[in-house]
Amino acid sequence: MVGSAAGGVADIISRLLVAKLQEFWGQPVVVENRTSASASIAADFVLKSAPDGHTVVMVVPNSHTIGPYVMKLSY
């Protein structure tokens, strides 16, 4: 999960990391963008996902630094 729009810095970095993770793990890795609400949509999705280690989140700093001060978060 990427908490910012496709084509943004976090998305580009995520896609570069995915290429290396696919080589390392030997299996496909998918990038899914869930934007809005200071990236808390993506973080909340990962929080509610099964704890199997197959879902990770790439967030921008504002979801963890600014977000808690301006909205109630579930994480």
Q: The tokens of 8 are what?
A: 């943004």
pLDDT grade for 62, boundaries at 50, 70 and 90: low
Q: Terminus-to-terminus CA distance in the chain, angstroms?
A: 15
Q: In the chain, what are the domain boundaries?
A: 9-70
The pLDDT assigned to 3 comes to 84
Give 13-48 pLDDT, tens digit per residue.
999 999 999 999 999 999 999 887 777 788 888 888
**Considering the entire predicted model, what is its pTM?**
0.71
Go through 40-71 and write b for each residue having 16 or more CB atoms within 10 A of its CB, e for each that does not: bebbbebeeeeeeeeeebbbbeebbeebeeee
